[in-house]
Amino acid sequence: MQTSTKNISIIETQFVQLFSEANPLQMDCGEKFSPITVAYETYGELNSAGDNAILVCHALTGNAHAAGYSSDDSKSVGWWNAIIGEGKALDSKKYFVISSNFLGSCYGTTGSSSINLQTGKPYGFSFPQMTVRDMVRVQKSLIDFLGVKKLHTIIGGSLGGMQVLEWSLLYPELVRSIIPIATSAHHSPWCIGLNDLSRQAIYNDPNWRAGNYYDYGQPEKGLSLARQIAMVTYRSDISFQHRFKRERIKTNGNPRTYRFDMTNHFQVENYLRYQGKKLVDRFDANTYLQITRAMDLHDIGFERGAVSDVLAAITMPTLCVGIDSDVLYPVHEQKEIAKHIPHAEYAEITSLYGHDAFLIEHEQISKLIQNFFTLLQ
């Protein structure tokens, strides 16, 4: 739901309960799961034909609040606010833009931190391990609920891009085009290894308590360290050099350059600790564990065949976007995806910011989207 005050859009996150005991979600892990609450936001209006919708898929610690100001926090601007809205690349005057919080998250959609109706306590680590395909199945149920008959495009970066690729394979008849950004067709050993380090940081925090920490408080140190490990991979060495150099923390206006003790932090250390604390204040540790595992399980070839053959079966127009400084999902992965999809083109963002550039380089992304949409006409 969208209202406007003095030309500032105020977006209200909405909630819907999907699936039932009679019609549960059939999960890849074998579980039959219901009910599922889904948090979502919409921008613009669905046309009478139901075919002007765009689905935006968020990344690991993202949420449904992609654009405008939050109705709960007038200072909270959506993570893709520069991309979504009237006159923007994803024009809410022309399109019905949907951003949903995926299955297993902790921002309103059912996940580890949600209350298990049978026990009255959070699911915790007992929440069934979801996959990217499970996330997409829940999104499909949401767009059915919203009356969408056709998606003009599906777009997302990182884990969002994984959802985009799965949409093209699970429900190709509903998708006119796709824009996967900085993602992969299957998670690489490099990414799996990095995620495992992050998970070990949480597992090794004694306050994790095998996932049963909700009566005691978060495993803060473990989750903070997990985020710090990830943050190093989200940026690039060039961006760290550009922003931090070898500068030290200053106390009382004086840089303590030559004191080699535990309090004499470099600026980059201080930045990483700050990012770790920020995530602890807004995210759930069990959720982090299960989402990263879902990413590691991502493989479009699983039970389908060779990845190259599966990509070749994607028939809709595709824009694959890489980031030249991305060390997490390097450009060769995006080029490989584009190489095998018959009607795909490849475009590259030039940025200092590494993987996170898809959340930062709004002008470049907007131009790529607009050019792609022009070709679709």
Indicate which residues carry an active-site annotation.
158, 326, 355
Q: In 102-258, at which residue ranges do the beta strands (DSSP E only) sit?
A: 115-116, 121-122, 151-157, 178-181, 250-251, 254-255
Q: In 30-129, at which residue ranges do the beta strands (DSSP E only) sit?
A: 32-33, 36-43, 53-57, 69-70, 96-100, 115-116, 121-122
Nearest alpha-carbon partner for 349 in 325, 316, 377: 325
Instruction: Please give the Cα distance from 167 to 164 (Å, whole number).
Output: 5
DSSP 215-227: TT---HHHHHHHH
Strand partners, 26: 32
Instruction: Please give the Cα distance from 229 to 215 (Å, whole number).
Output: 27
Calculate the CA dihedral of residues 277, 281, 282, 284 and round it to 10 degrees: 90
Sequence-distant (6+) residues with CB within 8 A of 17 are 35, 36, 37, 38
C-alpha angle with apex 354: 349 to 218, nearest 5 degrees? 135
